Structure 1
Amino acid sequence: MIADAKKHGMILTLSEPSVLGAENVAMARAVKEGIIGSVYMIMDYATVTLGRKYFAGTAWRHMKGRAGAGWINDHGVHRTHFFTEVNGPVKEVFSYTEIFEKELSNGETIIHPTGEDTSVTVLRFENGGLGHWMCSTAAHGERTGGVWIYGSKGCFRPGQHAAPEDGRIIPISEIIERYAPDTVQNPFAHSYVELWEAIADQKQAISSAERGLEALGVVFAALESATIGQPVQVQDVILGKKHAYEDMVIEEMNSFKK
């Protein structure tokens, strides 16, 4: 799609809510401009309690041949786009994945998921920062969620505040006012604005197709790593040098055609 867009002189953007809208833009700018110093660690925990039902009532999301890679991709590509927007490219990942819930049901139909419901991944960014990313739909009893960004001079809690090491708490409202006062608040509305700006002014989109490919590459690098049991370079997945997991996705996709 990216190659075709370039071939025909077209602009290809995404509508990625994790990096658009005043709050997300302000947060990314604040971190890049050093509000917490150099980023050391990004930690992200996201667990969902489904009670062995379908996520969002959709069985297809749990099948890698229909969803492209199951929950880890469905949810994960938003997270990885966020990671790279805040701290730059991810160089290498190592991951473990599992399908803990072997059966899911909506009360009428039972499915046997082929897409992984849990992953625990370690990220190594090109700038030397590290990340710990965990997501799961197999949690029971109590869910959890949250992102922490730790730097050499403080901590950032996306959607909440920045906490520099001097003890101050800078609320997100103040960060928006300082770093993105003229950015539209709604992420999806912002996606239309930046598409227009890309077409009319040739302005580089935050939610560009190239950045989306990079985010998808991180997801599939994690799934590839869990498949082959080794750390994986993200560029090796993007360039097609490593594709054991992707091969399984394609195989399952093709099986539906028979």
Structure 2
Amino acid sequence: MKENLEKDRKNLEEEQNQLSKKMNQLKLSKEKLELIQKDLLKQKSNSESIVSQLNSIEENKKGLIVKLDKEKTQNQQEISKLVDFNDKAREQIDNFIKEQINNNKPSKPDEDKNQGNSSGFIRPVSGPITCAYGPRTHPITGAQGFHHGVDIGAGYGTAIKAAQSGYVVTATYNSIYGNMVILSHGNGVQTVYAHAQSLNVSQGQQVKQGQTIAYVGSTGMSTGPHLHFEVRINGSVVSPMSYIQ
């Protein structure tokens, strides 16, 4: 009996040890589960925060799209206004030049019998062509249009020479072309010199080829010092590059 009791005691101790181990394992498992639960709660909170941020971004995106659509409409309206302004300005200066040519013809017919052809013309200022004759984007209005002359780059005060002998149709100021000179060279050929700083001739004056008629500036609708030079036949523009090289 004593041996059996001893044996039972040892079995109980062994069972108790096993139970203790299981209790420890359960405790560790519980702690691990609690950590996992906390991590899941944290991930849930982060997910909810991300969803909230995404919703906020989506709302901002919608607001930005509405704003951009509004700005696009406004820009289109502004572009339309600039195009209209550009066209009206172009028409205004064309009409002004044609009026000057038609209204200020020489008092003597012989005064308009100079060399009215594409040979014998000189470049009015030395410098690079910074804007050619033809289609272009206007540097001030940004509108698409047609450049009726060539822009020749030169510094303030550079002497502007008469491209050919002739008489001064007008030497005046215009809000678009600034200080400008129009010369008539006979046979319906005229040259226009615009944006001058100052003028050196007056209406009706006879000038010789190479004579200083004005000085380079940036008056009127201009973004910097240069000479805007045009060649016209009976008031209508033609490419100046046929006359100067």
Flag the structure with larger Rg.
2
Question: One fold, TM greater than 0.5?
Answer: no
Q: TM-score, normalised by structure 2?
A: 0.22
Q: TM-score, normalised by structure 1?
A: 0.21
